Amino acid sequence: MDYKIHFAPLQGYTDAVYREAHSRIFGGVENYYTPFVRLEKEGFRNKELRDIAPEHNQDVPVIPQLIAATPDEFRRIAAFFQEKGYRQADINMGCPFPMQARLHRGAGILPYKEEAVALLDTIREFPEISFSLKLRLGWEQPDESLALLPFINSLPLAHVTLHPRIGLQQYKGTVDMDGFSRFYEACTLPLFYNGDLSSLEDIHSITDRFPSLKGVMLGRGLLSHPWLAAEYANGKTLSATEKQTRLAGFHRLLAEQYSLRLEGGDHQILAKLKTLWDYLLPDAEKRLRKKVIKSSNLTVYYSAVKELLS
């Protein structure tokens, strides 16, 4: 079976610049997702509007993601996506961040079955949009998603992605493979696995164990090892030299585009580029990573990156 790789959204990291650079330099990804769009009291946030603007997403297969607590919030965001020309959208019922969860958004809605059903039922009002769903096993209990599954199975969803942790764990502790297994056995929709995949071995162990999967969604694994999807798609690992060359090109492209798009000058560009290293190349020499992270200006930063990548 031909398994697909999707790139999970991470707030603050996988913005339009990052997605385009990754697609151009590395590839191997069937779909990229935008970090979730939400409604605040004053409406949409400018940063999110810019990120999903079609003119910033022309050359990349992008699916916008929404997070909502009520059918009304859902309608407003879905209508906005439609207005922007999107015909696909992803529903976030997996976000573990307490600020969203306490509003019954993301994984925070999973214990409230009636609210979750009312929210998901809203997709029927948008037949022109092909929706997918990303969720966790639950917020407090790992069987909350299972309780919802009969209803989820009845929906016209393109696919479902499950991260087998509960929301309270955030990204700590281990993934619950028994919980995933139960969901997998009962899910009649195309299913993706997401969670703690950071090597080709990790991906193969999941696709071998769950052969009916549609594919896997990678998040932190791709931020750490941006070549991973390409290696999987092409069926061969990249040499150290090839990785180095592509990483240098990737970093150069990101630096160019952030310089063009960020209006806060060198300080903002430096801050943005440094966030890459929260995840990128975790196994690189500590001394060299530290030099990059501690850089006080762009000149010092570029020099430290060059040393690390050489």
Q: What is the pLDDT of residue 51?
A: 95
Of 186, 213, 234, the last residue of a domain is: 234
Neighbours of 59 (CB within 10 A): 10
The chain-wide mean pLDDT, for the chain, equals 96
Q: Are 161 and 192 in contact (CB under 8 A)?
A: yes
Beta bridge partners of 91: 66, 133
> Cα(29)–Cα(301) distance, rounded to whole angstroms?
29
- Cα–Cα distances in angstroms (integers) from residue 178 to residues 142, 162, 175, 183, in the given order: 10, 13, 9, 9
Q: What is the pLDDT of residues 167-211, one digit of tens each?
A: 999 999 999 999 999 999 999 999 999 999 999 999 999 999 999
Residue 1's pLDDT band (cuts 50, 70, 90): low
- In the chain, the percentage of residues whose pLDDT exceeds 90 is 95
Q: What is the pLDDT of residue 264?
A: 85
Same domain, 187 and 297: no
pLDDT above 90 (res 253): yes
Q: What is the pLDDT of residues 31-89, one digit of tens each?
A: 999 999 999 888 999 999 999 999 999 989 999 999 999 999 999 999 999 999 999 99
- Total number of domains constituting the chain: 2
Q: What is the pLDDT of residue 162?
A: 98
Same domain, 78 and 177: yes
Same domain, 152 and 291: no
Same domain, 245 and 182: no
Q: Whole domain around residue 261: which residue ranges?
A: 240-309
Same domain, 206 and 225: yes
Same domain, 169 and 285: no
Q: Are 251 and 305 in contact (CB under 8 A)?
A: yes
Of 234, 264, 279, the last residue of a domain is: 234
Q: What is the pLDDT of residue 25?
A: 98
Same domain, 95 and 31: yes
Q: What average pLDDT does range 113-134 have in this prediction? A: 98
**If phi over 0 gives left and psi between -120 and 50 gives alpha, with beta otherwise, what is residue 7?**
beta
Residue 104's pLDDT band (cuts 50, 70, 90): very high
Q: What is the pLDDT of residue 70?
A: 97
- pTM of this prediction? 0.96
Same domain, 211 and 253: no
> Cα(30)–Cα(37) distance, rounded to whole angstroms?
21
Same domain, 165 and 258: no
Q: Are 220 and 279 in contact (CB under 8 A)?
A: yes
Q: What is the pLDDT of residue 155?
A: 98
Q: Which residues contact 279 (CB under 8 A, 6 or more apart)?
A: 13, 220, 223, 224
Of 191, 211, 234, the last residue of a domain is: 234
Q: What is the pLDDT of residues 260-291, one digit of tens each?
A: 999 889 999 999 999 999 999 999 999 999 99
Same domain, 278 and 132: no
